[in-house]
Structure formats: C-alpha cells, structure tokens
Structure 1
Amino acid sequence: MKKGVLLINLGSPDSTSVKDVKKYLDEFLMDERVIDVPYLLRAFLVKGIILNTRPKKSAEAYKKIWWPEGSPLIVLSERLQNKVQQNVSVPVELAMRYGSPSIEKGLQELNNKGVEEVLLIPLYPQFAMATTETILVLAEKIRKKNFPNMEFTVLPAFYNQKDYIRDLSNAIKRSLESFDSDYLLFSYHGVPERHIKKSDVTQSHCKIDGTCCNTPSKAHDFCYRHQCYETTKQVAEFLGLAEGTYSTSFQSRLGKDPWLQPYTDATIDGLAQKGIKNLAVVTPAFVSDCLETLEEIGMEAAHSFKENGGENFLAIPCLNDNDDWVKTLSRWIDQWALA
C-alpha cells in the first residue's frame, strides 16, 4: 500500500475581514468538542451571542499579527510541510481542522497521488478533546464517506517523547541566551475542567485536585492537564531549571465555567507584582505561532506585565519550522513509512 502523511493544525480565517473571521469562528465554536453543550444551546450561545460581538474584536487582533504572506499559522505550517517533504520519501500534505485547506482537501490530494495508507499527525503535543480528538473524529467521518479504502494510522501525543522534549528545550535555551530571564512561565492553552473529566477513560481517576496528575493511571494517555504538567517537568529537568524559577499556567478561557488554573493572565500580573522584572513565556501547547502566542502572549500579556511593574518580557517562539524539529518529525515519518 502506498503511504502518505497528513499534517493537521488548528486553522485560521482566510483574511482579517470581519466576514472571514466570523465564518471561521462559526465553524470553530460550533464544534461540539470545543463548546460541548447540547446543539440548541450551543447555537444560541454562538450564533445568538458570540458571533454578534466577537468577530470584530477578533478581526482587530488578527490584523495586529497578520503577515504580508497571510496568516502566520498557515504560513508557518506550510513552511514546516515543505521542509518535511524535502526530508521524506512519502507525500506530505497539510490540512486545518477549521478553515482552509480542509482535511477533506488534504485527503483528496493524497488520494490523487495513489496513497492508500495515511499517517495522521495532529500538530498538538498534548491530547485534548478540543484539538486532537476533534481532528480524528472528523478525519474518520470524511474517510468513511469519501475514501473508504484508505487506512489511517495516528501519531500519538508526543508531549513526552525525548526527541520533542530535546528540540523544545534547546529552542528555549537558544532564546534565553540573549535574554536575562528571572522566571520562565510555561503557558498552555486552557480547556474547561469538564473536558478533562470527559476524557478520563477510567471515569474515576481525574479529580483535578493536585494529586491525580502525579498518580500513574491509564487516564494520563488522554489527560491534557497531566500531559501539560509532564511537558513542563521534562523540559525543566532537561534545562536544569531551579525550583521557584518556573511554573505552568493556562490561557484563553471562555465563558463562566471553571477552566484549568492557574490562569496565565493572573499569573503574569502576579509575577510582576512580586518583583519579577525579566519574564520569559513559552507556549508548548502550540507547534506553530498563532493568534494565541503572537497577540495574546506577545502583545497583551507583555503589556500587562509591564503595567504591573515588570520591565522586560520575552515571548519565546514556537518550534515552527525549526530545523531540529523538522528532522525529528521527518524521522518519525520515516520510521512509520519503512515499518
């Protein structure tokens, strides 16, 4: 069977126009694994409330980070795809869960090249219901409908793979060589606490009480919270970070339900108020820089840190098309392709 690879990232609006941002947010927020409430309530919240106010604000945020070539997330993902393709012998296509290019288009491109067995690579180091799971559910739905003879293999969450930890750690180290950091904050995208419990395959382990993430369990295979803390732990060990000089937080909450804590915005303000003058922030839930890293952290968080007494702020870039990361991803693909 001819093999091929589909790299899948989150997605982006086609432009910074309010119309395109609204279209993107509609697709994103109507996903039942993003806002996991009954359809009618979700439609009321999204179409009746959020889409009447948020697109304009989000469009302004996208304008701040948009590149001449287009969306940073799309451009960086395309660069990664192109570099990986040069390093492997099987076809590599790119898709987005929301927006363009779609998963269906990516699979069609592989199908046109005669590919029968596809390695799906969700570009998320940690598993989450609203990221990895929604990608795999949609991909399977499209496969059954349009490509029934295709077979899928899925690259598991790689949050604790030694090659990934090494590449991430070295990228952080290089960024800190020119920045005299007092503190390193690991900021991960937030999810509602209920997502953690819904993803618990044991239906009993996850308590979100400060102990369950440190107690071995099968639940950890699908526990976003555990995987985030484990990423931080392994990077800190690799870099030899001293206790008290780093921590983990979660950003981008929506609505009034409890989300994973501590919250990034409150953590950053608190660090400044406690006397931290030079703060570096890394965002390991993202492989490619996007609105959440470039605007929310690189602009909003930096401004808030300085307003609260901080002096110097560094938003550490994601792995993007880092050559070491390209080699690691290419090696994983080759190992699968030659198996």
Structure 2
Amino acid sequence: MSTAYFDRIDLPSQENRAREVQSLLTRVAETDGVEPLSESFVGGVTDARLGHRHLVVLIDDRVVAVAAAAGGDAELCVDPDFRRRGIARELVLRLRDEQDSVGIWAHGNLPPARGLAAAMGLSKKRRLLVMAVAGADLSGADARVPEGYEVLSVAESSDRWGRDVVEQAWLDANNDAFSWHPEQGGWDLDRLHRAQEAQWYSDEDVLLLWHRGSEGENDPDLAGFHWTKWQSADHRHGEVYVVGLAGGYRGRGLGRVVVSMGLAHLVSGGAREVILYVEDDNAAAVRQYEKLGFTVAEEHVVYG
C-alpha cells in the first residue's frame, strides 16, 4: 500500500493542485450525493483573499483528501477510493492539534462522519437544517405585500436611488439582521462585493422590501431583503439563499412576506423545488418555514 503524505500548502498559489482538489470535490459529491465543502470553503481553494488554510493528502503524487480551515471552522473530504485507511481521522487530529476548539463540519451528516465523530469522542456543536418545499405549497406562494411597501430587485433599486445608497442600506439591514451570525454578520462593502462575484449571483435575483417614508419613494427605508439563488441551470431548483429583516421591522408579520416574495420570484423563473438552510435552534424561523410548506430534507453538523 502506498504511503500517504500530509502536505500543508497554499492552494490558491498552486493552480494545478487547486484543480486537483476541485476534481476531488466533484468525485466526492457524485458518490455521497452532497457537496463535501460549503460555498465559502470551495471559494477558498482558489481565492487567496479568503485566507483559508489547506492540508492535502497525497498518494503517489495524487490528491486523495483535503482539509480546509478558517477561523474556528474546518471542513474535509476523502476520495471514495481511498477511504477506510484512517485518512479522515488523521486530518481531524491534525486540525485539532492546530486548534483544539476547531469545529469540523459534516455536510449531510452521513454515516461515516457520524461513526468517525463517535469513535473520536466528538459531539454535535451546531446543526444546520436543509429544508425544502415543492408542489402546491411552492406554486401557491403569496407575493402580496402590505400597503406602503414595495418590492424591487437590487438592479431596479439601483436605477432608482443609485448603487451606493442601495448597497449601504443593504449592508445596514444585513448586519442588523445577522449581528449574531458567525458567517453572515459584520459585513463591509468589500465582503458584499466578494459575495457578488459568485458565478450564480445576479442583481435581478436579490429582492429588497422597501418601506416608503413620509416623502414617498424619495425617502425609502429598507425593511428586508431576500437573496435568491438558482441551484440548477434549467432553473428547476432554487434556493432561499439569505433572508433577513431590519430590526425596526421585526414583529410586524413581515417575515412571511419577505420569504414569500422570493419564492414567488423563483416560481416565476421556473422553480419546481426550493431549498433553504436554517439553524435548528432558530425555532421561530423553523416554524415559519414549516407553515410555508417546508420540510427537513437533510442536515449539516459541526462536531467538536
């Protein structure tokens, strides 16, 4: 049996190795039925600005596993042809040697991940649910908004008030809505612009709920926002990517409005199924999504 070499490298600066890792991620997703790395960590394979740390495993100079870490989180995967050799366990040990409190993501929380966590004495620290809606519950999404409010895309809003005004209002609402969130909160313009670099991003697919002030449309206040995302090129599968309400607009029944306006947008574009991600301890949000017809389809877990 060939020896496995664990090599800490700067992936964004090594184009060939980065391509190997991307191919590895594709093979793992095809085998497991779930993407092994989150969107952010996939981006970190080639984007040095994210500052992710990478550890690759080589056998006969072939990348057979990778671990990526940033802040207090890490993600990893092993080539299906090279599993049951202790590679994942060794990656976890090395990640924990570097940072004992690191949280290891298990996307899909598949049986091998659960077994490894149990064998290493790791416990669940965070649980992220994937919820899905289809059929009549989706096609019947109510796009009506209360009097005094207006739904515009980022593109339409920018045409009316200017890009700078819209992006600052968007940032303020986002950071208010997600002041508690480790990934979505505390954004600045640079972070927002990086998010807009995603291949799937479109100004037309981000919807903003504006509240008209005393001066009408010349005095708008951003009440909420809904990023939608297309999961497939044929637009049959969509995603509630990010949805939030500014603090001053919570408790007014607008949460359902903001979600529904995005669902209606996705349906109008051809969506047959829509998914979203939500923390399992956000009971109020989970209940709201259940009322809209969403059910739990899978889960992602952080072990530590």
State the TM-score, normalized to the length of structure 2. 0.29
State the TM-score, normalized to the length of structure 1. 0.27
Whose strand proportion is higher, 1 or 2?
2
| Pair member with larger Rg | 2
Whose helix proportion is higher, 1 or 2?
1
